[in-house]
Structure 1
């Protein structure tokens, strides 16, 4: 009897998770590590508009993206914009440093202080759960995988992923989407 009850409980949990409505799928269900190794619940973004970006320090897109991301944050932070940066070394080994080195690089070179998280994988079997979720919510062109550094996901004030932008989309070209959500 106890085994049957356990099986029923597992089935009910699975069923409840599989019928979760789109309204229930938000970034708020995730906890990630910040660049100092502390756990951070993405509940911290409740009521905010968030631009989530996989970043790299040695990419041809680094300079323009960091400069423009800083401009976005400087312009729209008071209205509720946050930028969540997730370093990733899966594309050409362009983010080889440790979390402390990455944090120092961004602060020293760009005078930029986004919400910086610990280095993660965004593709493959060991992709971070947040990125598995983001790709499922906003698939890419042809394939859902993240194609390169600086892929951007825009999240509304309710925590839902509403847009995905290619690495080559400049942050300044996302302004109209951000303004609609603010």
Structure 2
């Protein structure tokens, strides 16, 4: 009995000493024009095409608010891991910034950065666990899970952006050929 109490106390103390903040950052090279990539990110009506969340939770339900794109765009969801809401807080030529509220208590900041010359997209997420006594463990868990989810999302975005860009280029060439033949 005493050994169990010591283990429990050690678990709690270590949990209190672990950092409560977490950070995930992943990058991927995407061979597509930056406006094509950015259009898939800054419009929540496009997220279902590449977002990893439906692959992880097929029963997740999204609601998209108005506006659905640009600064102030809003979406919420309900799934097996809980509920949340995401708002695009700022937009620039090279960055889209989101605030995420998860389960009415957990605030996450997320940024997608676009490097047009290198054709690289970087997804950066940071947050802080707020679960009493075990926040350090939750932060470690969140960082590990989000690392895999971000990788999946970036791979999906790469595939979709490259296919969309190739299709747009082909359609552009087809329309130019049709007008030159007339």
Q: Report the TM-score, using the length of structure 1 for normalisation.
A: 0.26
Q: Report the TM-score, using the length of structure 2 for normalisation.
A: 0.26
Structure with greater strand percent: 2
